[in-house]
Each structure stands twice: as C-alpha cells, then as structure tokens.
C-alpha cells in the first residue's frame, strides 16, 4: 500500500470511529437492579463518554456515588422523545425496559451481570433501608425468576437487528478490572481512557459478596 493510500485508509477509519462516538449510536448501560450499572456509568463517564442524566435521584447509602439515572427512561415505551438527545452519549436503562426501545435507533449495550445471590442480598438490604419487606418473595423463587428473565432477555437482544451487547461480569470487574476494562474499550473502538476508568473502580463499595 502506498503512503497516500495509507493516509486515506487512516482518515477513513478515523471518520468511522468519530461517527461511532458522535451521533449514530445510543449507548446503553443495563442490568438487573444492584448489578453494578451505576458503577459502569461512572466508569464510562471517566473514560470519556458523556452520560445522559438529570440528577433527580440523588446519591444515598445504597449508591453513595450516585445513580446516574434519567427519569424519562422510566416512561418507556410511551416517551421516546429523549432518544435523539441520547445519541453519542450513554444512558442507563433498566433491563426490563430494554424491550421497549424503538427500532429506529442503533444501540450498543453494556449489560452488567452479577452473581444472582449477591444481587438478591443487595436488593434485600436496599429494601430494608427503604422500610420494605425483604422476604416478600422467597429467595428460591426470586433466584429462578431472575435466571429465567436474564436468559430470555439475552435471546431478545441477540435477535434484535439494532442491538449489539457486551456482557460484563461485575464480579470479574471487581477481581481483575483491567481485563474487563480492555473488553469494554474494545467495544467502544478503543476510544476510552482505560486509566481513568480503572481509577473509578471503588472496591470499598463491593459490600455484598459470596
């Protein structure tokens, strides 16, 4: 390949990467409640992706570094008018709402996975903090419901023509952040600051583990 051809090739790749990060894709962080979605939002923000948030839900004892939520997301499927604003940014969408995203956008999803027993334990502690009954649903029933739900959701995302997903284990992220961060950065075409993402991982907040 001639030098001029190499330059043209590099320019084309740069344009593709710029387009990838600036307007053609809606980036999503999703997962079950208490699976590490807020941490991932923080990491991506530090890595260089602007989050779409409204700061209505403030930080508390369960999420001392903030929830990174955008309230209008919770009104899916009725309210989709915010999606153009989300292009090129990252927004948190609960797993149960993924299926309500309209087909007229392209989505790249970082889906947080976590040990089911840890999720249940964390959810129970949150319920106690809110004055709710943590034993409203038996653990065995909840465990089976969550596993079945995740299995069906993965099938839905895999078969969706406008969705591309990267599944990240919260447990692996806590054990070996570098490996997970490399995988995430590859998903973002190598455009993230891995060092700043690593600094955003706070092991002190990994409080419910087995």
Tell me the pLDDT band of 64, cut-offs 50, 70 and 90: low
Residue 2 lies in a domain: no
Which whole number is the average pLDDT over 36-43?
94
Residue 16 lies in a domain: no
Tokens representing residue 20 in the block: 């990838």
Please state, in angstroms and rounded to a whole number, the distance separating the CA atoms of residues 74 and 52: 13
Which whole number is the average pLDDT over 10-38?
68
The three-state DSSP-derived secondary structure of 145-198 is HHHHHHHHHHHHHHHCCCEEEEEEEHHHHHHCHHHHHHHHHHHCCCCCCHHHHH
**Long-range pairs, 61-70, Cβ under 8 A, ≥24:** 61/129, 62/125, 62/126, 62/129, 63/38, 64/205, 65/38, 65/39, 65/202, 65/205, 66/38, 66/42, 67/38, 67/92, 68/29, 68/37, 68/38, 68/41, 68/42, 68/92
> How many domains does the chain contain in total?
1
Residue 14 lies in a domain: no
For residue 85, the enclosing domain spans: 26-204
| Predicted model pTM | 0.79
Q: Identify the CA nearest to 73 among candidates 106, 29, 112.
A: 29
What does the pLDDT look like over 83-133, one tens digit per residue?
Answer: 999 999 999 999 999 999 999 999 999 999 999 999 888 777 766 666 776
Tell me the pLDDT band of 165, cut-offs 50, 70 and 90: very high
Q: pLDDT value at position 56?
A: 87
Share of the chain above pLDDT 90, in %: 62
Residue 3 lies in a domain: no
Residue 11 lies in a domain: no
Identify the residue with better confidence: 4 or 62.
Answer: 62
Q: Identify the CA nearest to 188 among candidates 1, 29, 65.
A: 29
Residue 122 lies in a domain: yes
Find the CATH number of the domain harbouring 76.
Answer: 3.40.50.300
Residue 85 lies in a domain: yes
Q: pLDDT value at position 192?
A: 96
Q: Identify the CA nearest to 96 among candidates 85, 79, 111, 118.
A: 111
Q: What is the DSSP string of 55-82?
A: --S---SSSTT-----GGGGGTTT--TT
Tokens representing residue 171 in the block: 């447990």
Residue 143 lies in a domain: yes
Q: pLDDT value at position 63?
A: 63
């Amino acid at each position: 390949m001639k030098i001029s051809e190499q330059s043209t090739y590099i320019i084309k790749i740069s344009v593709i990467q710029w387009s990838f990060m600036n307007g053609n894709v809606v980036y999503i962080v999703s997962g079950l409640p208490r699976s590490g979605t807020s941490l991932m939002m923080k990491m991506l923000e530090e890595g260089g992706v602007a989050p779409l948030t409204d700061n209505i839900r403030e930080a508390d004892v369960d999420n001392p570094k903030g929830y990174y939520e955008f309230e209008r997301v919770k009104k899916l499927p009725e309210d989709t008018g915010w999606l153009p604003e989300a292009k090129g940014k990252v927004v948190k969408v609960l797993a149960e709402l993924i299926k309500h995203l309209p087909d007229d956008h392209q989505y790249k999803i970082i889906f947080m996975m976590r040990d089911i027993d840890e999720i249940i334990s964390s959810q129970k502690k949150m319920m106690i903090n809110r004055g709710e009954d943590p034993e409203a649903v038996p653990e065995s029933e909840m465990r089976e419901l969550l596993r079945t739900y995740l299995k069906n959701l993965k099938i839905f995302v895999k078969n969706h023509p406008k969705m591309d997903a990267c599944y990240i284990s919260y447990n692996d992220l806590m054990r070996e952040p570098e490996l997970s961060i490399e995988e995430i950065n590859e998903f973002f075409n190598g455009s993230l600051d891995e060092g700043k993402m690593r600094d955003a991982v706070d092991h002190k907040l990994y409080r419910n583990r087995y």
